[in-house]
Amino acid sequence: MLGREVIERLARVSPGVRPHLFHTGAEPEHLIAEMAGEAALVAPLADLDELEGSAIVILTAPPATEATSERLLAWLRAHPRVALVDCTQPGIAGSAARCVVNAAPPVRPSPPWYHLPDPALAAPTRLLAALAPLAPEAAHLTVLCPAAGFGADALDELAAQGAARLSGHPEGKAIHLPGILAFDLSPAPVERSRLLETQLAEIFPRLEATANVIDAGVFHGHLATVLASCAN
């Protein structure tokens, strides 16, 4: 979905710009990947100079190694006119990237690095923005997150767990998932809740927000409840 939205948006706002696709995976080979609903040949980003001439670098998957992330950030620092839109979680640039929703801030930050919030906040941030006329002062979020957040292998693992439970067989040790999630829920590590709170504080600096993340035995999609108190 992200790929389709990005490609369609780029085609609308910059019809003459042709995006170039690279991957930062561990294998230095060309990959066939789905991009905007179509098959695309994606080359490895072996030489960062291949990014020369770019206006924006959009990162949709975490680099395979921390060293690759550092090399990419170093290249971006050397090219301060190139914007970074980081769609990964928790992001590669830390607090140096501005957390944004829907649109970039009116004043271009330096460096021009932007970070999209966690997908679990997609609906809650829109709800809280819609409540702006009521002047929300505090909010507590409870978010249920899917297995898809742990990668494609986690989806296969969840399916295997479900089949094992339905047949009465042992589920086996979880490898890609944090535990046995089939037909179950599990509290996420507190660090993930703190990450959502940090992002909410950056998006809504006047809002006192807390969050509670729960991993759910579902394949895709998030569920969130928001308890908000407002001044008006």
With a pLDDT cut of 70, the percent of the chain lying above it is 97
| Amino acid at residue number 117 | P
With a pLDDT cut of 90, the percent of the chain lying above it is 63
Distances (CA, A) of 80 to 20, 33, 63, 84: 20, 30, 21, 10
pLDDT band at 13 (very low <50, low <70, confident <90, very high): confident
pLDDT band at 1 (very low <50, low <70, confident <90, very high): very low
Dist. CA 183–CA 216, nearest whole Å:
8
CA-based nearest residue to 137, from 232, 27, 7, 10: 232
| pLDDT on residue 3 | 64
| pLDDT on residue 36 | 65
Cα-only R_g, the chain: 20
The CATH classification number of 121-230 equals 3.30.360.10
Dist. CA 53–CA 150, nearest whole Å:
33
pLDDT band at 123 (very low <50, low <70, confident <90, very high): very high
Average pLDDT, the chain: 90
Task: Give pLDDT tens digits for 80-115.
Answer: 999 999 999 999 999 999 999 877 788 888 899 999
| pLDDT on residue 31 | 80
Task: Give pLDDT tens digits for 155-198.
Answer: 999 999 999 999 999 888 999 999 999 999 999 999 999 999 99
pTM of the model: 0.82
| pLDDT on residue 96 | 93
pLDDT band at 206 (very low <50, low <70, confident <90, very high): very high
| Contact status, residue 200 vs residue 211, Cβ threshold 8 Å | yes
| 33-37, 44-48, 118-122: least confidently modelled range | 33-37
Dist. CA 157–CA 212, nearest whole Å:
24
Q: Strand locations in the chain, DSSP E? A: 22-23, 31-35, 38-44, 56-59, 83-86, 98-99, 113-115, 136-145, 185-187, 208-216, 223-230
Q: Which residues contact 72 (CB under 8 A, 6 or more apart)?
A: 24, 48, 57, 59, 63, 92
Phi, psi of 130 (to 5 degrees): -70, -25
Kindly list the domain boundaries of the chain, sorted by start residue. Answer: 2-116, 121-230
